[in-house]
Structure 1
Amino acid sequence: MHPTLLGPDLSVLYFFNSVLASPFLDFLMPLLTFGGTQAFWVILCLLLYLLGGEDEREAAFMALTALVLGFFLSEALKMVIARPRPYEVIGWVRHATVAGGYSMPSGHAVAAFAGFISLYFRLGRPWFFIILASLVGISRIYLGLHYPSDVLAGAVLGVLCAFTALKIDERVKCFGLCRFDRLQQN
């Protein structure tokens, strides 16, 4: 890692992982981190699709599209960057669990931002979804599993995946409507 990035990264990591440490946050943060797991998103999207209306079904489709894109892109980037997790290389980092794989970008942050921003595009309430995604990212830092720059990179990648899913959704709609219009003209 470039030395100029290491200082701020370590300072923010120390703040969230050590300074803020408390029994309440030790309980809360593992719960929040669940919002970045594949299981959470599969269940949420399934519920939205089965129990929701047209907007919720569309939001579920977009979120799943963004999540699939984000998963493959983040896994590829992790293999290229190959950054070890903070608790593997810094002795003072507290961690309650051990995570497999590399650290950069945070896959949980990718999933949270890809999913929650996709939901925002179809369901509104931007601050609600941005706060939820941000809390997932903060939980990863608090738990000592990622550097802040890992979470930031994951957030950017997740937002890009959500925008890509939005464009895919628009193309799918246009393709369906354009085909329907052509069939009616014949």
Structure 2
Amino acid sequence: MRSIWDFVIPSSLDIRHSSLIILSENNKPEKVRLRFTLGQMDQTLFHLINERWTNPALDLFMAAVSDADVWKPVLIIIIFAALVFGGFRARACIFCLLIAIVIAEPITNTLKSAINRKRPKHVDSVRMVRLEKGRPEFMSIFKKPVVRRSDESDRRRGDPSFPSGHMTNNTIAAICLTLFYRRGWLYWIFAALVGYSRIYLGAHWPSDVIGTIFLAAAEAFFILAALELIWRWAARRWAPGIFSRHPGLVINPAE
């Protein structure tokens, strides 16, 4: 007997070890066993974000959030201002952030090659969005984004899907800012937008984004812990004057 859930839950979905009590057409309770695999849940969520929950305003916004070239001038200004006008905390934050990203990049590339997970465009025709090229780059946000369906040529282009380089860098940045600044946790909002945009633009599966957050967080904490230990050992030995004023690099760094 059909129920309201027949129109909500696609028959192709397969949820394991779960059940629902629903009302049938004659209002009698029926127990329905649903079976999902994680892969099917991943694909379903991807297609909802990439295909269904879209509009032209989001196309431009998500493409801008995800395009690193658009943000380069802003990042250069912020880094320059922090190094020139910031105190020890700002310089230590920039130093740790850059070192962590430099170390994490080859790890990310190695894992991509080893895991070799296909991107959505490698296995299906997906909705792809990108900014129209502008000169200088930030002028791209004032142009209509390019929206198209991936085709056979896209299946032969692009590196593997997991882990995500965008999410690795932004997770590391969010952790560094959270540790160094009281309101640094606010950067997690931007990091979350970047993660969502990678799915929206058709570049990554949802599980790529979630998995990368945990992986990058582990990398960040390990690298930052190593930098803290190196600072305490090296600065005490070779720069005792600086060490007396700044005994911690990551943990409670003085201004």
TM-score, normalized by length of structure 1? 0.83
Structure 1 residues not aligned, in runs of 5+: 182-186
Does structure 2 conserve the Cα–Cα contact (< 8 Å) formed by 1:60 and 1:119? no
- What is the one-letter code of the residue matched to 2:108? S
Aligned residue among 29, 32, 37 for 2:65:
32
Instruction: Give the distance between the partners of 1:47 and 1:158, measured in 2 at CA.
Output: 27
CA distance in 2, matches of 1:25, 1:125: 27
> Which among 60, 81, 100 is matched to residue 158 of structure 2?
100
- The answer to which structure has the higher helix fraction is 1
Q: Is the Cα contact below 8 Å between 2:174 and 2:185 reproduced in 1? A: no
Partner of 2:93: 59
The 1:136–1:62 alpha-carbon spacing in structure 2 relative to 1, beyond 3 Å, is same
2:112 to 67, 70, 78: 78
Quote the Cα distance in structure 2 between the aligned partners of 1:73 and 1:82.
Answer: 14
CA separation of 1:22 and 1:107: change in aligned 2, threshold 3 A: same
The aligned counterpart of 2:169 is 111
Q: CA deviation at 1:114?
A: 1.0
Aligned to 1:21: 54
Greater shift in the superposed pair: 93-102 or 138-147: 93-102
Equivalent residue number for residue 125 of structure 1:
183
Structure 1 residue 70 displacement after superposition: 1.9
Is 1:9–1:148's contact at 8 Å kept on the other side of the alignment? yes
Q: Which residue of 2 aligns with 1:140?
A: 198
Compare 73-82 and 48-57 and name the one that shifted more.
48-57
Instruction: Determine helix, strand or coil for the equivalent of 1:162.
Output: helix
Deviation for aligned residue 1:50: 3.2
Matches within 5 A, 1:145-160: 145-160=203-218
Whether 1:49 and 2:83 are equivalent positions in the alignment is yes
1:79 counterpart SS class: helix
Moved more, 166-175 or 16-25: 166-175
| 1:36 to 1:85, Cα distance in 2 relative to 1, 3 A | farther
Question: Larger C-alpha radius of gyration, 1 or 2?
Answer: 2
Q: How many residues align?
A: 178
Comparing 168-177 with 45-54, greater Cα deviation is found at 45-54
Shift of 1:162: 1.9
Q: Which runs of 5+ in 2 are unaligned?
A: 1-35, 131-153, 241-255
Other structure's SS at 2:158 match? coil
TM-score by length of structure 2 reads: 0.62
Partner SS, residue 96 of structure 1:
strand
1:175 aligned to 229, 233, 244, which one? 233
- Deviations, residues 9-54 of structure 1 (Å, cap 9, x unaligned): 1122112111211111100011111359995897354543234221
Q: 1:80 to 1:51 in 2, by over 3 A?
A: same
The equivalent residue for 1:184 is none
Distance in structure 1 (CA, Å) of the matches to 2:84 and 2:177: 15
Cα root mean square deviation, aligned: 2.6
2:141 alignment partner in structure 1: none
Cα distance in 2 between the residues matched to 1:7 and 1:28: 28
Range with bigger deviation, 39-48 or 155-164: 39-48
Question: Structure 2 CA distance, aligned partners of 1:107 and 1:71?
Answer: 8
